[in-house]
Structure formats: structure tokens, C-alpha cells
Structure 1
Amino acid sequence: MKSTDISVRSASGLAGIEIGRRGLLQAGGIGAMLALLSGCVPAGGGRPSDSLTFTSWTFAGRSVGPVQAAAELYTRQTGVSVETKVYPFDRYLNQLVLAARGGRMTGIVHIDEEFMSTLATAEVIRPLDRVIDESLYPEFVRSAGMYRGTRFGMPWTQSAIGMVTNTELLSQLGADATAVRSIDDFTDLLRQIKRSDGSIIPYAPCTDVVQLKDFIPWVWAFGGDIYDGSRVTLGDDPSRQALDYWKMLLDEGLIQAGVDRDSARTLFAQGRVPIYDDAPQAYGIVPSMSTDPDLQRKMSCMPRPAVRGAGANLVWSQPLVALDDSARTTEALRFFSTDEAALRVIFEGQGAPPITLAALGAPWFAGIDFQSRWTETIASNARRNPLWEFPIATSAQRVLNEAVEQGLRGSLSTEHTLKECREALSELLEVRAD
């Protein structure tokens, strides 16, 4: 995001940042800014209109077709036209808040759930507790869309970030992912891959500073929390073990520095990585990037190892939120969240998984072995990102990302890195709109 975003900006290394009260003031007075935003939002419902406004970054991307098709289904069923609005993803949150606070926007908005705490704290989105019928969704879907006990997100597409595998490549390398029961088993698996072919990167989580949320499930795998609902727990034994584990994987060449999601997908498509972290859209996206016509058939997933039982995966969630309380907006939320034809169009067009119990069990989805296995193995064992509970989750995620990157570089000790990160995140927890 740009320097004008509603977020804490910091220097490239955690050791060089000040995210104390002075740091927040230097970063633009985030608490005051959110308070200002809250005071600028009209209290009433939506304005009468012959159309529904639907805001999404996808209306400017390659995935516009399926979402547009779903919007056309809505129009055919309701007679209400859809007015699309789009902002680039890298400026999405900032532009959305600026437009909403001026009362220039109504309707429904597609968001990354990481944005929700900022929008809810700024009071530009509406509670949906009375709108949603939670019995339509499985538990792992109902666990998302919340901020501080209130539902603001209507499920639209959701799953989890888990371990994608190339079963045939693993077999060729003499590695059996089905035998992994512990973190030590997983490490042995990666070392076996490396011994079989030194040119292979055994595992490719995101290690680039912009996407280091892949580190969070590994803290869980070692028994930690990061944030337990009342305090930041970084610096405890599990978080130190997780960071030291990643440093060991990096030192042994079992993972690689500077990997983002796109580069991990490319490496997997090229057959240079047999295990990497991704959402289930990988099944539709990655094969088209590969010269292997059978790659999709070879794709599967594996449970995340942990010190006790199966490790939890990170919820991946892109819900819809409401900018007004009108009946039209409410009905549109219900349609896009629950209409099976609309959910199918989006899944088949861009790989985004559906979220209702009916759609998850439908043959067009559950009949695909990869997707049914993913739902059972990965999505059903997923946890919310604990940083989503922060008033400005995007800033909290950036602080953690920079800390983990610095820890992997070894410029500070694990203990010092996590201590500074804990202090910075604890300061962010105090940011409130009065």
C-alpha cells in the first residue's frame, strides 16, 4: 500500500522502527484518524436506487467474467441492475474508507477479511448478525466474518491456506507425505527430497516480507497463539521454536528466502517444488502455468504437522460487507452468499470455493477429489488469523511480517526479534476510535 494508507509504516528492519505512541503519531495519528472517520459516516440506511452498487477489485482483473456472470444472475432473478465499482487492490482499503466516510457509497463490498477490522473500527460497514442464517454454513465458514464478537462479513468465498502437494513428484523423490505424523517426520521428508535432487526446493511457504502470514500456522503447530485474545504472546517458547525451525529450514536449503505466492506457484508448476502453501484456487490456477498436461491430476494436499495432532491451517476468507442497511443490500448479500448457481459460476470460472453446506456437498464441487479432500483435510481444520482481531489488522500483519523476515535474515536474535515485535503489536492493540 501507499504511504497515505491507514496503517503503520515502518522502516525495512524491525530494529529501526518505533511503534510506540510517538511512532503512531509520526505515522499519522491512526487512532485519531479512525475516530475522524467514525464521525464522518452517515448514520442512516442506503439511498433509494434502481440499482445495486457492488464494489470489488476483481471488476478490473482477469477474474471479472465469473463475478460479472454472477451479477447478471442476480439481475435476472431480481430485476435490479448492478452498478460495479472498482479500486486497485493495492489502494483498495484506503480508497474504500475515503469514499464510504463521505457517504458516496452504498451497497455491498468484496473485501479481504484482513481489511474488516479497519472498516468496522471506522464504522463504515454494518453489522450482519440479524441478516445471516448461520445454519446454512459449516462451522469453519461461520468462524470467519467476525470482529470483536459482531458479524460484519457475509460469507462469499472462503477456505484455508494449506499444503498443496505434487504426489507424483514426491513419489519420484522417494518421499511419502502420507507417512508424516509429526514435525520431525516432516523435516525428514524435506531432507529426503533434498537428498534425492539437490536442485529441488522441498517446501515453498511464502517467505517474502509482503506475505509472511504463512508463518502463523507454524506458531500454532508448535503450540503457540501469537495473540490469545487479551495479550500478544510472541516471544514464548512455541513462537521461538517456530522461528528457529524456519531458520533451520532456510539454512539447510529446505525452504527458500524471498518467495511470494506467485513465485511459489510458478516453482510448483515447473516441477521444482513438490510442496507449497496456497489456497485451493491453486487447483484451477497452477495447471495452466505448467507444461505438464497432467499436473492437475497429480495435485493433492497434506495435513500440517504439529507437536500434538494435526496442525491448524490459516483461514482464507474474502467476505462481502454492507455499506448500508437497506433491504436491497440485505437481499443482495443473501443472494451472492447462498444462491447455488451464482456460487457455481464463480467456482467454475475462477476456482473460488463455495461456502454453503449445500454447495460444498454438490457434485459439481464435491465430485472433484482435490476439492473434497481439501475441504475435509485443510479447510475443516482452519483457524482465524489472530491479527484480524487488531483494530488495524493490515498494520499488525505488516509488523509481524517484518519481524519474521528480520529473524530469518539473522540480523537479530530470535528472542530480540520477537520481543520487539511483541512490543510493537501491543502498541497497535491500543489504537481505538473513541
Structure 2
Amino acid sequence: MTSTPISRRRLLSLAGLGAAGIALAGCMPSGGGAAPSATPSGLAAGSFTPAGFSFASWSLTEEAAAPAIKALLDGYKSTQKVDIAEVSFPYNEYFKQLMLQVRGGQFTGAAHVDVAWLASLAALGKLQDVSGLTKDRGYTAAALKAAQFDGVQYGFPWTIGAIGLVTNSELLAKAGVDEFPVTVDDYEKALKKLKALGNGLIPYAASTKAAQLKDILIWMQTFGSPLVKDGKVAIGDDESVEAVTWYKSLYDQGLIAADVDRFDARSLFSQGRTAIYDDAPVGRGAVTKDSPDKDLASKLVPQSRPVLKKGDTPRALVWGGAIVVVGDDKGTRTAADFGQWSTSDLDAVLGDYKLRGLPPVTNEAQSSSEVAADAFGKRFAERITKTATTNPFWVYPQYAQIETVVAERVQAVLVGQQSPQDAMSQAGEAAQKLIG
């Protein structure tokens, strides 16, 4: 089982710019990547009587993203004359809470999900097959596939992109980093130059808080670990140990900081207190919205992740969101109609794009002048999304638990409680037990 690089053709389909890992004890079904125990029969196109429903999204808790989500909800409510109950939790808690509520029958309606969660949610047997409503709506084939699990269309694709390095070009220039480094060794040298600027600048706001330490997986792949090979967890191999050893050295040198997650990193970047951090395109709006630097948007430059040696392919993680429909009640069909409308209606999609700048998933939106004119998005696609791969753990319903056990062991290394070798051996063994 391997991660597959995205070809240029697929890049253009995914990005359209050719021009929370938490342990879920008691929530997860046993076994490996098994198909769901049951699936609702599926929703069909055609007329229906609108009825109120619930909509869940972590973005409703985020200052930068909430206005765009609320605008979509308000637009749909005014058109269909229905009530929509908002359900939200912060991102680092959202997956756990959504799983608990879906499993217990406490949530029905439409839910915003990370595409990485589809296997886990589908295994609960309460997601609707929405293939009857995605047909002939203009979604790209790659986007549709990203919102499927085990061949079933469990979600309306909403946005597909990647997570990679976003930089502040002004700070890099001040540090004398004229060319963004290609190799890991040169990257470390550049971080040292940034640290020399002083004033408490954190060169690289890498994730070091347990909730987001899954980011280390992409560095493990950079160092050559496959993470999963022939159905067996590879963490604990020389490459993963080397990656964590390097990460620990950055920590010890003050080139990365303690207790940082994605939202801390965005805040640091917004305030000009870090020069580099990891994010998806959605982060652009978050870091520029309240920044004291009114010209920050012009300084945002996506960059390819450094490689171990010249000639290697830069690594990036596929990232994307979808809308799934949960349960079967009088509001289910309306919830599905909202999912279809918000992800494929051109006016709705471009209105959302204007506010959040996230890569759309329909051919019509991707070819629009609004998307084609986005320089940041085009560079992000070429430098990051082009070589993105999926996380090989996503196919397992226990993927969040796997990421958690890895994150906990990496954190133990950072704070000096374990050696990289011992910690990664334990992490690999624990992850293997989870997938059987």
C-alpha cells in the first residue's frame, strides 16, 4: 500500500489552477480497512419538500472562515426558506465529537469533513451514498474520487488541495535567504540565518503540540520512510528515526518552538513572528485577516518542501474537504441538496472562493477568470499540490488513533523523555497493533 504522486494532469483537476488526530477509544470499529457494516440506500435526484436540517463544521469556530460558511448557510436558507441548525467544535476536537455524535445517533444532517476521515465515518454505516446527486454536476473525476471510500460516493467534494510550506518572502530576504533551499541541510542553514535576525523570531513554526504532530509524517516521507509497506507499518525504520532525530535537533537549536499547532502557527505568521509554517491554501485568509502588516498577502510565497538530496521529489500531503450527509430523516434530502448546491453551484462556489480562496472542484469554477487570476493559488498548485500524496494510513478506520500514538512518541522525543529509536519502534509497534 503506497502513496501515489499526483501527475500534472491530476494536479490541474485537483487544484484547478493550471492556468486532528485524536484517539477515539470506543468510537472506532475493530479490524483494518474493512468496508462499512451498512450503508443507507442512497439519495436520488428529483423534487423534494425542503425541511430544516443541521450543518456541522469546525470552520464555524474560526474567525477567518466563519463569515464565508455563514454566508453560504444564509444564502441557502433564504432560497429554500428552511432553518439550519449550526453545530461546531474547534478543529482539534471536531473529529472526535462528530464520531461520537454520529455513532450515538445524536447528529443527522450535513457535515463538513476532512477527506481523511471518510474511512472512519463510513465504517459507522450512517453516511448516505450521494452518487445520485453528484452525477452531471461538473465535478472533476479526481475530486469525486477524493470523496469516495471503498467505491462509494460518501461525500460532495468541496475543495481539494495540499498542505505545504508557506513563507514570508520579506523575512527570508532580510535573513539573506535569496533562494529557498532545495535540500534539508540547506534548509537548516536557512533557519539558522532566520534565527540570527533576533527579536524572538521563530524561524519555522513547525507543529510540536501533540494534536498536530502528525505533521512529522511528511518529514518521515521526506527522509525516505514509506510509513506503510506491503500492509505493514514501517515507522521505526532508519528513515523515520533519522527524520525524528533531525526534528529534535531543530527543537534543541531553537529553530522550531514548543507547543505550536496549526492555529498557533497561523497567529505567529500573521504577527510576523515566524517566517515559515505548514498550511493548506485556506490559511491565507486566516493569516492576512488581522495581521498588523497590511501588505502581508503580497509576501506570502508557497514553497516546495526541501528534499533529502537533490533530485528527490518534494513531499506534500493531499488535503481536502467534503460535505457528507448523515442519517435518514425528513431533513436528509434537504441537507444533501445543500451539499450539492454549496459545492457545485457556480455563484455559490465563486462567492466562497472570493472569501476563502480554496481550490474549487468543478470544471466550470476552475476555468473561471476569478480562479485563473489567483497568483498565490497557481504557485501553490505548482510548488506543492503537484507532488502531493495521500497519507497511507487514511484507508484504515483507526487512522486517527495511529496518528495519535505516533504524535505522542514524537512529543516524548522532543521533551527528552525517549530516544528517537526507542520512541519510533514503540510507535510502529502500537500502530501495527491498531491495523492488525
Name the TM-score class by shorter chain: 0.7 to 0.9
SS at match of 2:228: coil
Offset of 1:159 from its aligned partner?
A: 2.0
Please tell me the residue identity of whatever aligns with 1:207: T
Q: Distance in 2 between matches of 1:103 and 1:193?
A: 51
For residue 13 of structure 1, what is the aligned residue in structure 2?
Answer: none
Q: Distance in 1 between matches of 2:184 and 2:124?
A: 41
Question: Which blocks of at least 5 consecutive residues in structure 1 are unaligned?
Answer: 9-27
Please tell me the residue identity of whatever aligns with 1:241: E
Q: Distance in 1 between matches of 2:361 and 2:83?
A: 22
* Corresponding position: 1:339 with 2:345: yes
From 173, 177, 196, give the equivalent of 1:171: 173
For residue 268 of structure 2, what is the aligned residue in structure 1?
Answer: 267
Q: Distance in 1 between matches of 2:353 and 2:319?
A: 15
Q: Distance in 1 between matches of 2:123 and 2:131?
A: 17
From 113, 123, 126, give the equivalent of 2:125: 123
For residue 367 of structure 1, what is the aligned residue in structure 2?
Answer: 373
Deviates more, 1:420-429 or 1:315-324: 315-324
CA contact (8 A) 1:396 1:428 kept: yes
For residue 11 of structure 2, what is the aligned residue in structure 1?
Answer: none
% identical aligned pairs: 30
Q: Distance in 2 between matches of 1:103 and 1:55?
A: 15
* Corresponding position: 1:409 with 2:410: no
Q: Distance in 2 between matches of 1:233 and 1:33?
A: 19
CA contact (8 A) 2:50 2:334 kept: no
For residue 24 of structure 1, what is the aligned residue in structure 2?
Answer: none
TM-score (norm 2): 0.80
Q: Distance in 2 between matches of 1:405 and 1:100?
A: 31
Q: Distance in 1 between matches of 2:228 and 2:136?
A: 26
CA contact (8 A) 1:205 1:255 kept: yes
Q: Distance in 1 between matches of 2:246 and 2:23?
A: 33
CA contact (8 A) 1:303 1:378 kept: yes
From 393, 411, 425, give the equivalent of 1:419: 425
Offset of 1:189 from its aligned partner?
A: 1.8
Q: Distance in 2 between matches of 1:376 and 1:290?
A: 26
Q: Distance in 1 between matches of 2:132 and 2:266?
A: 40
From 399, 406, 417, give the equivalent of 1:400: 406
Q: Distance in 2 between matches of 1:268 and 1:355?
A: 28
- Structure 1 pair 305/99, CA: closer, same or farther in 2 (3 Å)? closer
SS at match of 2:68: helix
RMSD of Structure 2 on Structure 1 (CA): 3.4
The 5 Å alignment of 1:213-224 reads 213-224=214-225
Q: How many residues align?
A: 402
CA contact (8 A) 2:158 2:360 kept: yes
For residue 211 of structure 2, what is the aligned residue in structure 1?
Answer: 210
For residue 17 of structure 2, what is the aligned residue in structure 1?
Answer: none
For residue 322 of structure 2, what is the aligned residue in structure 1?
Answer: 319
Q: Distance in 2 between matches of 1:272 and 1:376?
A: 27
Please tell me the residue identity of whatever aligns with 1:310: T
Offset of 1:61 from its aligned partner?
A: 5.6
Q: Distance in 2 between matches of 1:390 and 1:32?
A: 10
Residues 114-140 of structure 1, C-alpha deviations (whole Å, 9 max, x = no match): 432221111111344565459945676
Please tell me the residue identity of whatever aligns with 1:257: A
For residue 388 of structure 2, what is the aligned residue in structure 1?
Answer: 382
Please tell me the residue identity of whatever aligns with 1:118: S
For residue 161 of structure 1, what is the aligned residue in structure 2?
Answer: 163
For residue 256 of structure 1, what is the aligned residue in structure 2?
Answer: 257
Q: Distance in 2 between matches of 1:142 and 1:411?
A: 44
- Structure 1 pair 32/379, CA: closer, same or farther in 2 (3 Å)? closer
Offset of 1:174 from its aligned partner?
A: 0.3
Where is the helix percentage greater, Structure 1 or Structure 2? 1
* Corresponding position: 1:287 with 2:288: yes
Residues 309-361 of structure 1, C-alpha deviations (whole Å, 9 max, x = no match): 33221222221112358765555433222222111222223444423343234
For residue 7 of structure 1, what is the aligned residue in structure 2?
Answer: 24
Q: Distance in 2 between matches of 1:126 and 1:228?
A: 32
Q: Distance in 2 between matches of 1:347 and 1:189?
A: 34
TM-score (norm 1): 0.80
For residue 200 of structure 1, what is the aligned residue in structure 2?
Answer: 201
